[in-house]
Amino acid sequence: MSGDYKIQKLNCMKIFYKKFTIIFLLIFLVFAGFGCRGLSSKEKAVVKRVTLNYWTVYDDVEQLRKFATDYKMIRSHVTVNIKQVREDQFEQLFINALADDVAPDIVSIHVRDMNKYLTKLSPMPKGFTVPSLITTGKYFKETKIIQNSFALPTADFVKNNFVQTVYDDVVREGKIYGIPLAMDTLAVYYNQDLLDQAGVATAPTTWDEFMEAVKKSTKFDKDGNITQAGVALGTSQNIKRSFDILSVLMMQSGVTMAQDKYVTFANGVKKFDTTYPVFKVLQFYTDFANKNKEVYTWNNTLEDSLNYFTKGKSVFYFGFAYDYNTIRARAPQMNLKVISLPQLNPESPINIANYWLQAVVKKSKHQNEAWDFINFIIAQDRIKEYTKKTGYPTPLRIQIAEQKEDPILAPFVEYVLQAKNWYYGSDKNIAEEAINNLISNYLLPTPEGLKENEWKINILNSAARQVQQSM
């Protein structure tokens, strides 16, 4: 009997513990706020998952994806998909996506394409609100909706914290249309071994010193063919970024390229005068491709300027910071050095700005989340993280001094505060083609039946009209 009693007692205890466990779980669920009522429709809307589609062209995709992962730690309901798009395909893909109502939420836009896409972008609001759920109560749990409000950068904030050109480029009528993660400027790469062989003791710092170095380092064969170029200058078709090089030379010479949406570099030119700044610059640039000049060092028969440099066939190369990794990859053994862009007037230095903006598409259905993510990645610490990862110059004033300590970055950062753009048209490809045609035509002999004065004036005005059509 005692054994049956023990078994019966044990069974009763099992039943009791089962009932106790069930009751405890029910009480816990009620107290936790997930009892009979469940989530309200508002709560369900709050916790609804959001996917942001982000199209970029040349930004570092790996780093952006890291930012997206970091962002998800604070916004668990938001997923950011990063897609890299080829530059030559971006416009058509973007237009088609807008037409089909499947446009991305965030895009990376080159600063010179601002006007082209301005009507398709949303200006940065004063702030945004991102809702979240919070559970309160020690015993009786209650879930509430909390509206988290955040302020976004103002135009003054951009002016005070970013380099001047960012403010000039992205702020329109007091509204901000995008923010860059990095900045780039022109500098001069050079092959130290070839410079040493030419007997040039120190790298040039002025344009006069640069011209002397080019003369000494250019080599010819017995037939007068170039076997080693001092630098790739003078032409357009086989020189990367010839548009930028000529533009910065013009600006250094005091030429106003455009003003108030009107092209001005040909304004007031009534006759051909070699002392006139615009003609003086064109002469200086094209002399490097003129067989009759002492600085002759380049021509259209030579291959692409970057290829020529990385093959060890030219001493100097005008490029941006983003070229560094490419040069290193193609020519790992090169004794590569970089110097700042020579200045015509060191008291008033000028460089050209080259960068991409992170912007929100007007058709995005997730405006708040999109701006929230951009606000997240443009924090000073993350911009510093991005520029350290990519090796690009900074757009932040506060970081300039730090980057000047880097021997590679220093030449690009040297004049980042003085970097600027002049072209804000609707199609930068047309503008670049016009300037490149100006260079090519300037090298041509005067057509029969025309005076040199007429020819030079005609090609200058033709280029100006072509650029104006793209404004």
Closest listed residue to residue 433, CA positions, set 462, 392, 391: 462
What pLDDT sits at residue 346? 87
Q: Is residue 330 part of a domain?
A: yes
Q: Give the separation between CA 160 and CA 167, rounded to whole angstroms.
A: 9
Check if the beta carbon of residue 248 is closer than 8 Å to that of residue 350. Answer: yes
Examine the domain organization and report whether 212 and 252 are in the same domain: yes
163 assigned to some structural domain: yes
User: Quick one: 78 and 128 in the same domain?
Assistant: yes
Which pair of structure tokens corresponds to residue 340?
């700042």
pLDDT band at 135 (very low <50, low <70, confident <90, very high): low
Q: Do residue 331 and residue 376 come from a single domain? A: no
* CB atoms near residue 398 (< 10 Å): 12
pTM (predicted TM-score): 0.85
* Percent share of the chain, pLDDT over 70: 87
Lowest-confidence pick of 204-208, 445-449, 460-464? 445-449
Look at strands 351-352 and 336-340 and give their pairing.
unpaired
- Residues 271 and 172 grouped into a single domain: no
294 occurs within a structural domain: yes
pLDDT class of 43 with cuts at 50, 70, 90: low
The answer to whether 315 and 194 have CB atoms below 8 angstroms apart is: yes
C-alpha–C-alpha distance, residues 379 and 96, integer Å: 32
How far, in Å, CA of 165 to CA of 122, rounded?
20
Q: Are 109 and 121 in contact (CB under 8 A)?
A: yes
* Count of structural domains, the chain: 2
Q: What is the rounded distance in angstroms from the CA atom of residue 73 to the CA atom of residue 63?
A: 16
| Any domain includes 23 | no
Q: What is the pLDDT of residue 45?
A: 60
In angstroms, rounded to a whole number, what is the distance separating the alpha carbons of residues 183 and 220? 38
CB 321 within 8 A of CB 392: yes
Same domain? For 69 and 149 the reply is yes
d(CA 174, CA 123): 10
In a domain, 26, yes or no: no
Is residue 11 assigned to a domain?
no
CB 241 within 8 A of CB 320: yes
Q: What is the pLDDT of residue 76?
A: 83
HEC per residue, the chain: CHHHHHHHHHHHHHHHHHHHHHHHHHHHHHHCCCCCCCCCHHHHHHCCCEEEEEEECCCCHHHHHHHHHHHHCCCCCEEEEEEECCHHHHHHHHHHHHHCCCCCCEEEEEHHHHHHHHHHEECCCCEEEEEEEEEECCCCCEEEEEEEEEECCCHHHHHHHECHHHHHHHEECCEECCEECCCECCEEEEEHHHHHHCCCCCCCCCHHHHHHHHHHHCEECCCCCEEEEEECCCCCCCCCCHHHHHHHHHHHCCCCCEECCEECCCCCCCCCCCCCHHHHHHHHHHHHHCCCCCCCCCCCCCCCHHHHHHCCCEEEEEECCCHHHHHHHHCCCCCEEEEECCCCCCCCCCEECECEEEEEECCCCCHHHHHHHHHHHCCHHHHHHHHHHHCCCCCEHHHHHHHCCCCCCHHHHCCHHHEECCCCCCCHHHHHHHHHHHHHHHHCCCCCCCCHHHHHHHHHHHHHHHHHHCC
**Structure tokens of 240?**
């990367």
In this structure, the answer to whether residues 234 and 146 fall within a common structural domain is no
Structural domain includes residue 165? yes
Nearest alpha-carbon partner for 134 in 43, 237, 18, 259? 43
Residue 112 — very low, low, confident or very high, per pLDDT cuts 50/70/90?
very high
Residues 336 and 305 in one domain: yes
From residue 73, alpha-carbon distances to 76, 83, 134, 144, 453 in Å are 6, 21, 16, 21, 66
| 161 shares its domain with 211 | no
Residues 256 and 151 in one domain: no
* 401 vs 141 pLDDT, higher one: 401
The distance from CA 154 to its chain's CA centroid, rounded to whole angstroms, is 21
Same domain, 140 and 61: yes
Strand 262-263 to strand 258-259: parallel, antiparallel, or no bridges (unpaired)? antiparallel
pLDDT of residue 17: 53
pLDDT at 37: 46
Q: Specify if 33 maps to a domain.
A: no
- pLDDT band at 140, cuts 50/70/90? low
CA atoms of 402 and 39, how far apart (whole Å): 51
- Window from 48-57, 139-148, 209-218, 278-287 with minimum mean pLDDT: 139-148
Q: What is the pLDDT of residues 335-371, one digit of tens each?
A: 999 999 999 888 899 999 999 999 999 999 999 999 9
Q: Are residues 344 and 209 in the same domain?
A: yes
Per-residue model confidence (pLDDT) at position 11: 55
Cα separation, 392 vs 320, in Å, equals 9
Domain containing 450 equals 187-352+426-469
Which of 117 and 128 is assigned the larger pLDDT? 117
Same domain, 47 and 69: yes
CATH number at residue 254: 3.40.190.10
Note the pLDDT tens digit of each residue in 284-337. Answer: 999 999 999 999 999 999 999 999 999 999 999 999 999 999 999 999 999 999
